[in-house]
Structure 1
Amino acid sequence: MFGPDFVWGSATAAYQVEGAATEGGRGPSIWDVFSHTPGRTFNGDTGDVAIDHYHRMREDVALMADLGLGAYRFSISWPRVQPGGGGQLNPEGVAFYSGLVDALLEAGITPVVTLYHWDLPAELQDAGGWTNRDTAHAFAEYARLMAGELGGRVRMWTTLNEPWCAAFLGYASGVHAPGITDPVAALQAAHHLNLAHGLAVAAIRDELGSDVTLAVTLNTHVNRPADPGDPGDVDAVRRVDAVGNRIFLDPMLRGYYPQDLLDDVAHLTDFSFVHEGDTALIHQPVDVLGVNYYCTGIARAHRGGARESSTTHGDSPHSPWVGADDVELPPVPGPHTAMGWNIDPDGLVELLVRLHHEYRVPMMVTENGAAFEDEVGADGIVHDAHRIGYLRGHIDAVRRAREAGADVRGYFVWSLFDNFEWAYGYERRFGIVRVDYDTQARTPKDSARWYARLVATGELDPLTP
């Protein structure tokens, strides 16, 4: 069905799982600052302890091996290995990731490194964060240094995870760190994240040569017009696509910003922060496009009155947007996950086939999963049939996309563990492994055993674990 070379894995992010926020020479990140600011996260939750992966790493790798994972996608905490975002690396921080890589390799699991999953060193934010061009150059140097440390053992490197969220949730809606609400700052951040990607790809290739797989992971959106026969709604989809997808896809994979995006935001900025030669620096060859997918959205022309939103908390994968004040994103019909996101595997087929036809780059689904209201059964196990159904439907969508010609080479379930779910704190559980936050005990859910069997057999049926 998928073939022996198809990569089956799972994924996490450093701030969501590691804890040990002040140990081992780690400096503060923007998420430390944000989560410690009253009112920013549910219940005032922070990642100070998270699921204590920093201290339980070997136990966690053993669990991955028990599930038969072929790959583990994790992120490096930039402030753990380079506390201020510049200068020499912190040996104790590097040693943690070196030990993790060694443990994975010993267990027969391929390490897949993400260099940036939103935890910018706080010192760089004090200097402007991603609105400051210098941050892109600092990131490239950090990438080069870590490639030098781990490159002999790590063959797949991802520069950025979901730069759209870092730019637009962090700088436009402010529901993610650093909590800024300035649409022009969001556009500046998007460009400097693009630049950071291109500079980092060049730096890693310079350090490691051509025998390395380089990737970037985007949360590419699937939006549909509320009324396909209404030209205003069709144009609303185009506008949201420009600022949600093509603002990253086109400069990274084609070497230019789309003209309609520039026209849409011309009343906000003239893009003078894009310097001559920047798009050539951004447009570096990548070997894999990581695709994160959870749900679909609806876009329509704003018809007056109160504006409808697809989410009450602003961190849907389909909001906010900038430069399109006459566009709104109404709620999407269910069924929904605990995040309020609709369940639509067909959207993943549509997305993968579109990306294949328009960009002709190999892909991996680097995040896909669902939060549900898990209940622990009398036997101590979470019997999460809803999550199994979600995963099965979306993995079958990958199969259908491949049959339609899309070059999809791997799938990573989000997430391996319940963990700190950003602004939602610990209120939402995405893991296929349950974590008791009081004891830190890990217990595989039914979905974990189901996924383990899928990895072992390559067969989707049946639905039961």
Structure 2
Amino acid sequence: MIGKKFIFAASTCAFQIEGGRNLGGRTDSIWDEFTKRNFFIPPLGKATREINSIALASDFYSKYKTDARIMKRMGLQGFVYNMDWTRIFPKNSSDFNPEGIKFYDDVFKTLTEKGIKPIPILYHWDTPMWAEIQGGFENRDVIEWFRNYVRIVFRFLGKYSDLSFVNDENSTFTLNGYLSDYYPPAKNNKTAFAKAIHHLNLSAAIAKEEFELAKVAGYIAEDARLGIDHDWTPPHQYQEGDEAAVVKYNQWFKNFFLDPNLKGTYPEVFFQWLKDEEIDLTITDQDLTLLLKNRLDLIGWNYYRPCYITSDENVDDLKMLRQKSHTFFVSGFKQVFPKDIEYTKWNWIIDPSMLATGAEILWKEY
């Protein structure tokens, strides 16, 4: 929504469809390395994880003009696209790749000519390997590496859209990549998680700072907006007495991932967790000032499903549940899976009921 105007759009990311991984001067990201090392195609009809080659994918790299014509015939008015940092900075933090910029310029120009608004997202989990080798988002230097990247994007591509996002689903990326080995960089370490999420937040603030400078320079429209995209799963209270569990769940899965870039601060539960876990992370007054001065303009919310939350002190009644409950990296609440509702084969609840309610909750708070 821009004002009262609704944009009917589709969304995807470079990792999922682009292909051309070794073309146009591009080098590997952490997802190239991860998919090569963990390649796995499940048996036909088995609902389990597939880790396929991304070398070709849907070949958007070669077929974007055809895809744009299809989008126009479909009546799409916008295209949300998670760009590839590695295509633009394939070797280091300072030397950008003209071929990478030209590719995205061609894509955005083609979309614009078809009446489709490009809505870029700057980062979607695919840290360049050159950056990861130096520590990736655990290394505070990533903030300046990211600054150089967004500065180039705004300079050359900012003219195409008045709506952009910095990050996409920081929660899924950091929980699965830094508190687990399910996604790259597969750290499974609490300190790595804390550093990564803090540096992601600071990188978004830096992006906002550069976004406003790009407006002054005339690269971006004065009324353009920059947001953060989040995949908060809104909770249902499972049973009477679970109010406190739901509150704590939201403090972590809503406020923890949105407050830094929309309010300029962290919820108190994060500072307490750092202390309880004895995690070596310094959040300076300068960091908090940077966040506060460079708050983002809007939320992109990816609604997949709701969840049912109860206190983690409650014992599972497997007669009433589809499976055992899911616990989190913090205590006080857990997710349960009631039997009497509909699920996908991946155990995702099929329930649109929280779409409007969740949007209203976000609107009222932010």
The two structures have a TM-score, normalised by structure 1, of: 0.69
Query: Counterpart in 1 of 2:126?
Result: 119
Query: Counterpart in 1 of 2:46?
Result: none
Query: Counterpart in 1 of 2:74?
Result: 67
What is the CA distance between 1:271 and its match in structure 2?
Answer: 6.7
Equivalent residue for 1:95, pick from 76, 82, 102: 102
Query: Counterpart in 2 of 1:396?
Result: none
What SS is found at the alignment partner of 2:180?
Answer: coil
2:251 is the counterpart of 1:245? no
Indicate the larger mover: 16-25 or 79-88. 79-88
The CA distance in 2 between the partners of 1:55 and 1:75, in whole Å, is 17
The CA distance in 2 between the partners of 1:319 and 1:142, in whole Å, is 38
Equivalent residue for 1:194, pick from 181, 201, 210: 201
2:288 is the counterpart of 1:276? no
What SS is found at the alignment partner of 1:322?
Answer: coil
Query: Counterpart in 2 of 1:255?
Result: 264
Equivalent residue for 2:310, pick from 295, 300, 303: 300
Query: Counterpart in 2 of 1:207?
Result: 214
Query: Counterpart in 1 of 2:351?
Result: 344
What is the CA distance between 1:127 and its match in structure 2?
Answer: 1.5
The CA distance in 1 between the partners of 2:143 and 2:330, in whole Å, is 24
- Cα 1:201–1:301 change in 2 (3 A) is same
- Cα 1:43–1:114 change in 2 (3 A) is closer
The CA distance in 1 between the partners of 2:252 and 2:206, in whole Å, is 22
Query: Counterpart in 2 of 1:137?
Result: 144
- Any idea what the Cα deviations from partners look like across 1:308-345, whole Å, max 9, x if unmatched? 9x999xxxxx9773232x53222255322343211222
- Any idea what the Cα deviations from partners look like across 1:388-438, whole Å, max 9, x if unmatched? xxxxxxxxxxxxxxxxxxxxxxxxxxxxxxxxxxxxxxxxxxxxxxxxxxx
The CA distance in 2 between the partners of 1:352 and 1:319, in whole Å, is 25
Indicate the larger mover: 337-346 or 180-189. 337-346
Equivalent residue for 1:288, pick from 298, 302, 314: 298
For structure 2, the 5+ residue unaligned runs are 42-48, 217-221
- Any idea what the Cα deviations from partners look like across 1:337-387, whole Å, max 9, x if unmatched? 34321122221122111111111xxxxxxxxxxxxxxxxxxxxxxxxxxxx
Query: Counterpart in 2 of 1:33?
Result: 33
Indicate the larger mover: 26-35 or 130-139. 130-139
Answer yes or no: is the 8 Å Cα contact 2:39–2:52 preserved in 1: no
Answer yes or no: is the 8 Å Cα contact 1:160–1:217 preserved in 2: yes
What is the CA distance between 1:291 and its match in structure 2?
Answer: 0.8
What SS is found at the alignment partner of 1:6?
Answer: coil
Query: Counterpart in 2 of 1:329?
Result: 335
User: Which letter does structure 2 place at the counterpart of 1:147?
Assistant: F
Answer yes or no: is the 8 Å Cα contact 2:227–2:298 preserved in 1: yes
Answer yes or no: is the 8 Å Cα contact 2:162–2:225 preserved in 1: yes
The CA distance in 2 between the partners of 1:159 and 1:320, in whole Å, is 29
User: Which letter does structure 2 place at the counterpart of 1:105?
Assistant: T
The CA distance in 1 between the partners of 2:300 and 2:279, in whole Å, is 30
Instruction: Compare relative contact order (CA 8 Å, sep 6+) and give the higher one, 1 or 2.
Output: 1
- Cα 1:44–1:353 change in 2 (3 A) is closer
The CA distance in 1 between the partners of 2:326 and 2:88, in whole Å, is 32
For structure 1, the 5+ residue unaligned runs are 313-317, 360-465
What is the CA distance between 1:250 and its match in structure 2?
Answer: 1.5
Query: Counterpart in 1 of 2:179?
Result: 172
What is the CA distance between 1:118 and its match in structure 2?
Answer: 1.1
What is the CA distance between 1:261 and its match in structure 2?
Answer: 3.2
The two structures have a TM-score, normalised by structure 2, of: 0.87
What SS is found at the alignment partner of 1:339?
Answer: coil
What is the CA distance between 1:304 and its match in structure 2?
Answer: 7.6
The CA distance in 2 between the partners of 1:5 and 1:254, in whole Å, is 26
The CA distance in 2 between the partners of 1:356 and 1:3, in whole Å, is 14
Answer yes or no: is the 8 Å Cα contact 2:191–2:279 preserved in 1: no
What is the CA distance between 1:265 and its match in structure 2?
Answer: 4.6
What is the CA distance between 1:306 and its match in structure 2?
Answer: 8.5
User: Which letter does structure 1 place at the counterpart of 2:13?
Assistant: A
What SS is found at the alignment partner of 1:36?
Answer: helix
The CA distance in 1 between the partners of 2:85 and 2:317, in whole Å, is 38
How well do the aligned residues superpose, as a CA RMSD in angstroms?
2.6
User: Which letter does structure 2 place at the counterpart of 1:255?
Assistant: G
The CA distance in 1 between the partners of 2:123 and 2:259, in whole Å, is 20
2:231 is the counterpart of 1:219? yes
What SS is found at the alignment partner of 2:160?
Answer: coil
The CA distance in 2 between the partners of 1:182 and 1:4, in whole Å, is 44
User: Which letter does structure 2 place at the counterpart of 1:222?
Assistant: P
Among the aligned pairs, what percent are the same residue? 27
